[in-house]
């Protein structure tokens, strides 16, 4: 297997790094304090092609025939308060489990749609990203805002989660790599007993273990992504990449704090933010426990309880 990036992939990687170093890193502390990312940043991301799949214009919605009526609430929607369109899975009354789910695009100005609560800077991490609670009170949306076929929601959700989880696994590698780079820089500079602390074996062990784990998570992520490119069923591999990535990022960001000593705990260095931000990875898009259940089902077969 060839794990080297192609020239095109290298170019994308370099463009992303340059963009993040130039447009995000200098502002991230301010955005975290304010609890928002300026809209212009998303526009720049979109220009470079770094935002998710484009949504067809037809879902904009205004002035069309209304047909679907949605009722319910959903907690914890990332960027739910600033999105123009919300992707919603809704269940038809009287159905259960995998049946009767459909996917809809809800424009933010649809009658009956409300943002009921927004959390930003009081969260443990991801403070620049608003986490919103949404309510749908007899919310009416255009007939054509059903995405795909009625009743296909479960399959669509699983497909979306399978892609999203690769993104989370890649994010875990990203935050852990940032923590490792910060740790390496610091242990070369900081001196104790007349030597850089990177000379001490116990510190070297934390750096070595971090490098090992980041790479293992990266390889699991690449495997899951490659299987997706090949059109293979990658449910098991995606769950492994996400679970290990989430666990690894918590450990590596913790070691990055450890090698910084007291400075790691202070707000002076970015490692404390990496540590806080890593915590969400094992919670959203399916908790660590849910990934373990998927891995066990694939390895052991389903449980005997129906």
Ligand X SMILES: Cc1cc2nc3c(=O)[nH]c(=O)nc-3n(C[C@H](O)[C@H](O)[C@H](O)COP(=O)(O)OP(=O)(O)OC[C@H]3O[C@@H](n4cnc5c(N)ncnc54)[C@H](O)[C@@H]3O)c2cc1C
Annotated catalytic residues are 285
Residue whose entry in the numeric block shows the structure tokens 């290298």: 10
Residue from the set 78, 155, 156, 160 that interacts with ligand X by CB under 6 A: 78
Find where tokens 């067809």 sit: 56
Q: For the CB of residue 24, give the shortest distance to ligand X in the complex, in Å.
A: 19
In the list 289, 301, 303, 305, the residue contacting ligand X (rule: CB under 6 A) is: 289
From the list 52-60, 207-215, 217-225, 283-291, the region that binds ligand X by CB under 6 A is 283-291
Residues β-bridged to residue 135: 73, 114
Query: Count of H helices and E strands in the chain?
Result: 9, 8
Task: Report if residue 126 touches ligand X, rule: CB under 6 A.
Answer: yes
Phi-psi category of residue 35: left, alpha or beta, with phi > 0 → left and psi -120 to 50 → alpha: left
Which helix (DSSP H) or strand (DSSP E) does residue 115 occupy? strand 113-119
Number of chain residues interacting with ligand X (CB under 6 A): 13
Could you say which of 280, 281, 291, 294 contacts ligand X (CB under 6 A)? 280
From 75-83, 162-170, 201-209, 271-279, span contacting ligand X (CB under 6 A)? 75-83
Q: How far is the CB of 77 from ligand X (least distance, A)?
A: 5
Binding range to ligand X, per CB under 6 A, among 143-151, 191-199, 235-243, 278-286: 278-286
Q: How many CB atoms lie within 10 A of CB 293?
A: 15
Q: Tell me the Ramachandran region of residue 212: left when phi exceeds 0, alpha when psi lies from -120 to 50, beta otherwise.
A: alpha
- Cβ closer to ligand X: 206 or 238? 238
Minimum CB–partner distance for residue 115 and ligand X (Å)? 13
Q: Does 287 bind ligand X (CB under 6 A)?
A: yes
Q: 131, 210, 221, 253: which one contacts ligand X (CB under 6 A)?
A: 131
Q: Which two tokens stand for residue 146?
A: 């059903």
By beta-carbon proximity to ligand X, the closer residue of 78 and 258 is 78
- Shortest Å distance, C-beta 14 to ligand X: 29
CB closer to ligand X, 77 vs 252: 77
The H or E element containing residue 78 is strand 66-78
Which of 70, 77, 271, 281 binds ligand X (CB under 6 A)? It is 77
Residues that bind ligand X in the complex, under the rule CB under 6 A = 76-78, 126, 131, 280, 283-285, 287, 289-290, 293
């Amino acid at each position: 297997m060839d794990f080297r990036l192609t020239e095109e992939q290298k170019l994308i990687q370099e463009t992303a790094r340059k963009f993040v170093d130039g447009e995000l890193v200098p502002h991230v502390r301010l955005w975290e304090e304010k609890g928002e990312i300026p809209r212009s940043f998303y526009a720049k991301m979109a220009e470079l092609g770094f935002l998710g799949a484009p949504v067809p214009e037809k879902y904009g919605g205004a002035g069309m025939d209304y047909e679907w009526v949605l009722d319910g609430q959903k907690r914890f929607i990332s960027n739910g308060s600033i999105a123009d369109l919300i992707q919603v899975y809704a269940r038809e009354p009287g159905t259960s489990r995998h049946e009767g789910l459909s996917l809809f695009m809800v424009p933010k100005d649809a009658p009956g749609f409300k943002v009921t609560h927004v959390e930003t800077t009081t969260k443990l991490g991801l403070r620049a990203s608003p986490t919103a609670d949404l309510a749908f009170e007899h919310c009416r949306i255009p007939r054509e805002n059903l995405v795909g076929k009625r009743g296909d929601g479960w399959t669509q959700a699983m497909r979306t989660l399978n892609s999203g989880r690769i993104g989370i696994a890649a994010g875990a590698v990203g935050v852990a790599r940032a923590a490792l780079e910060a740790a390496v820089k610091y242990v070369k500079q900081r001196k104790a007993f007349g030597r850089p602390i990177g000379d001490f074996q116990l510190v070297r062990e934390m750096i070595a273990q971090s490098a090992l784990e980041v790479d293992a998570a990266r390889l699991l992520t690449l495997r899951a992504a490659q299987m997706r490119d090949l059109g293979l069923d990658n449910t098991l591999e995606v769950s492994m990449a996400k679970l290990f990535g989430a666990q690894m990022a918590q450990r590596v960001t913790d070691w990055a704090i450890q090698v910084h000593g007291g400075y790691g705990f202070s707000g002076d260095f970015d490692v404390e933010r990496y540590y806080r931000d890593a915590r969400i990875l094992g919670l959203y898009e399916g908790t660590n426990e849910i990934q373990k259940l998927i891995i066990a089902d694939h390895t052991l077969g389903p449980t005997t309880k129906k």
